[in-house]
Amino acid sequence: MPASSGAHSGFGRVDEADRPAVLIGCLDGFACLPAVQAAKQRSFAVAGKAVGREPVLDVGCGTGTDLVLWARQCGARLVGVDLSHQMLTEARARAGNCSVIQAHSHHLPFRDGVFSAVRCERLLLHDTDPAAAVAEMARVVRPGGRVVLVEPDMEEAAATCPALYTESGVLTAWVRRSFAQPRSGSAVHRLLRERGLVSVRSEVHRERCDAGTADTVLQLRACALWAHESPGAPPGRLRRWLSDLHERETGSAPFCTVPIHVASASRPTS
């Protein structure tokens, strides 16, 4: 299937019929990476303990795996929201004890200040207006409660790939095309501050990826096909990329580094 004939997955392009399974597989694969696990654990920790019987909220909960992990740590009632019907079906299967609701990040169907904490991981990457999403998170968290954002910087990750992939600018163009906010990770601190949240803290976890992982995260093969089909593409680039990838995939040498930012901040108490 040529790259240009599939649907946008947020991880590149895939055939429509395979989309849910491919997406869920990508999310599960990404969640296994050590720095991603470390970033998730930090996000649960900095969200803090729930106050009384107040629930906590995961915006863009995806498969619901994080609902299960977070519930174990914070002991609160968890609510997840996601836009995707298929993700919600998966989340209901995995996180049966949590409430899972279909909603858009820009219009959270909750009253002001009802959650002890709100976290959101890798949604802003796909959000055309991340400020609107963060404003909603800041609205529904209680005064004093934390909003926690976990986002990678995909453009920075692409820039750390070997020169064969970066020198033409094609990979950067692909990442900019694939993600609404390819630099969401580097924006999270500012987004929280600009929404009037206080005590903003941030840290970065760096995942060193081998070529196979880099292909999953950045969709290098799909990028090569896309570049091959672009007008004026130099002949031979596709062949060079694919043979280089194939060779590197047989080893486990570092190929690129994905920075994953964790930022958190509190809603002011007055």
List all residues 6 or more positions away from 25 whose beta carbon is below 8 Å from its beta carbon.
none
Q: Is 104 a residue that touches ligand SAM (CB under 6 A)?
A: yes
Within 15-44, which residues bind ligand SAM (CB under 6 A)?
A: 27, 31
Q: How far is the CB of 172 from ligand SAM (least distance, A)?
A: 20
Q: Which residue has the tokens 């959101």?
A: 120
Q: Is 87 a residue that touches ligand SAM (CB under 6 A)?
A: yes
- Of 19, 37, 48, 84, the one binding ligand SAM (CB under 6 A) is 84
Q: Is 90 a residue that touches ligand SAM (CB under 6 A)?
A: no
* Residue 142, number of CB atoms within 10 A of its CB: 18
List all residues 6 or more positions away from 67 whose beta carbon is below 8 Å from its beta carbon.
58, 61, 78, 80, 91, 94, 95, 98, 100
Six token digits for residue 270: 């007055």
Using the contact rule CB under 6 A, the part of the chain among 49-57, 67-75, 117-125, 216-224 near ligand SAM is 117-125
d(CA 176, CA 183): 9
The β-bridge partners of 99 are: 79
Q: Is 195 a residue that touches ligand SAM (CB under 6 A)?
A: no
Q: Is 156 a residue that touches ligand SAM (CB under 6 A)?
A: no
- Of 67, 118, 123, 140, the one binding ligand SAM (CB under 6 A) is 123
d(CA 214, CA 50): 36
Q: Is 105 a residue that touches ligand SAM (CB under 6 A)?
A: yes
E strand or H helix at 192, and its extent? Answer: helix 184-194
Residue 203, SS3? strand
Q: Is 152 a residue that touches ligand SAM (CB under 6 A)?
A: no
Residue nearest to ligand SAM (CB): 62
User: Please, are residues 133 and 59 in contact by the beta-carbon 8 Å criterion?
Assistant: yes
- Of 12, 33, 67, 121, the one binding ligand SAM (CB under 6 A) is 121
Q: Where are the alpha helices (DSSP H) in the chain?
A: 19-31, 34-47, 65-74, 85-94, 130-140, 154-159, 163-166, 170-178, 184-194, 211-218, 220-229, 237-249
Using the contact rule CB under 6 A, the part of the chain among 78-86, 141-149, 155-163, 170-178 near ligand SAM is 78-86
- Of 67, 127, 174, 255, the one binding ligand SAM (CB under 6 A) is 127
Q: How far is the CB of 115 from ligand SAM (least distance, A)?
A: 16
Q: Is 82 a residue that touches ligand SAM (CB under 6 A)?
A: yes
Question: Interface with ligand SAM by CB under 6 A: which residues?
Answer: 10, 27, 31, 60-62, 66, 82-84, 87, 104-105, 121-123, 126-127
